[in-house]
Amino acid sequence: MHIVFVTFGNFDSNATLKRATGMADPLMKKGVRVTLLLEENKANRDKIKMECPEVEVVWHQRGETAKSERNAKQKTINALCPDIVWICGVGFRNWVRKTKKNQVVLGDHSELLSSVTGMKFHRRLWEYLCEIMHIYILDGHICASKYLQELYEKRAKRLTPWRKVCVHYSPYAYSLELVSKPKTVLAALREEYGDKFIFLYMGSFRENYGFWDMLHALKELCNNRDDFTALFMGRGPEKNAGIEWIRNEKLENRIRILGYIPEEDISSYFDIADAFICPLRNTIQDVARCPSKLYMYIPFKKPIITCPIGEAYEIFGEKGVYYEPGDREGLKQSVINTLDCRYSNPIDIKDHSWEQRTVSFLRWIENFDSRNNMLHSECPK
């Protein structure tokens, strides 16, 4: 079996690429030939070097237009003629066609763009039309959340009752390389932060990502306790406003916005963290998406403060450290409880590895093929 992962963008800004590098090595160990179509840039090369250095990669330049980039990728697919084309984040830059009748084209869905309220109406309408088009064009769907799985199953049953469209639930996962990676700045961080309890957030600095909820909840707690430090890693439009707010509140020694942290240093920060915070909103956008950071936190076996919705609830069930979305007082209380009770992470991390996702996928695709007989045909000469 030969699988080609079609991607776009880079790892610094596009989470959908994590599937390709995460599953590449486990698939190859199962005897599958894997090829990645990746944009030529430093972030992507560094990620390949760290996570799957043995994988076959076809590098391409970012096209001046979506059409030119798509055409270049189509030529590569035509030349490789794989059994399975796995499109990571279906969009115009990586929407490729079949090169042979029985080739399987899979679409990987990690969020529902038509539900993003921050987009203009015409853009959301366009995204909705694309989502409907996926049902008619793609042979199967890899859905990173239960919500998306159920949505695509319902749409397929309603829109294409004459054909069997297969849907596979496969959330993101953690990479063993992140855990085992050399802790390049760990000693310096331990010296800097000492024995303080450290809460860590990594993600986008945006209002709809709970950025200000965290800042205000932590500020209230800083008035009564001095036994913790909160670190914020990432990027986003609210970063400068957040730094200014912290300065005005005189909280620079308690809450620190670090900004972007290089990939090679992330494991050191995760190692010194005593707990993670992952805010979610009770919106279709958040219920439908797969928050990849959750899976990065899991193997470090630390408490994760989050909200009981979507994929967070699928992971932790009734055992999670929760607060209700948008409830700053509830978030503050969860932070207090974590400080006082020193929760442990209750889940079996093996269930959320890329190795386990690979086993599940191969079982699904084998069953898919037994019904459709789509993986055994010759390429056109």
Report pLDDT digits (tens) over 17-74: 889 999 999 999 999 999 999 999 988 898 898 888 899 999 988 878 888 888 889 9
Q: How far apart are CA 17 and CA 88, in angstroms?
A: 7
Q: With respect to residue 30, please indicate whether it lies within any of the assigned structural domains.
A: yes
CATH number (domain holding residue 111): 3.40.50.2000
Q: With respect to residue 380, please indicate whether it lies within any of the assigned structural domains.
A: no
Tell me: do 219 and 235 sit in the same domain: yes
Q: How far apart are CA 290 and CA 110, in angstroms?
A: 6
CA distances from 328 to 147, 176, 220, 279, 286 (A): 26, 34, 10, 10, 18
Looking at residue 151, what is its pLDDT?
A: 94
Tell me: do 100 and 33 sit in the same domain: yes
Average pLDDT, rounded, for the chain: 88
Number of domains in the chain: 2
Q: Which of 59-68, 249-258, 323-332, 349-358 has the lowest mean pLDDT?
A: 59-68
Query: Is it the case that residue 6 has pLDDT exceeding 70?
Result: yes
Q: With respect to residue 267, please indicate whether it lies within any of the assigned structural domains.
A: yes
Q: With respect to residue 378, please indicate whether it lies within any of the assigned structural domains.
A: no
- For 281-315, write each residue's pLDDT tens digit: 999 988 998 888 899 999 888 999 999 999 999 99
**102 vs 171, which has greater pLDDT?**
171
Tell me: do 106 and 248 sit in the same domain: no
Tell me: do 228 and 186 sit in the same domain: yes
Q: With respect to residue 94, please indicate whether it lies within any of the assigned structural domains.
A: yes
Tell me: do 139 and 168 sit in the same domain: yes
Q: With respect to residue 103, please indicate whether it lies within any of the assigned structural domains.
A: yes
Query: Is it the case that residue 370 has pLDDT exceeding 70?
Result: no
- Residues of the domain holding 47: 2-173+353-372
Q: With respect to residue 379, please indicate whether it lies within any of the assigned structural domains.
A: no
Tell me: do 87 and 213 sit in the same domain: no
Q: With respect to residue 196, please indicate whether it lies within any of the assigned structural domains.
A: yes
Tell me: do 123 and 206 sit in the same domain: no
- For 260-288, write each residue's pLDDT tens digit: 888 888 888 999 999 999 999 999 988 99
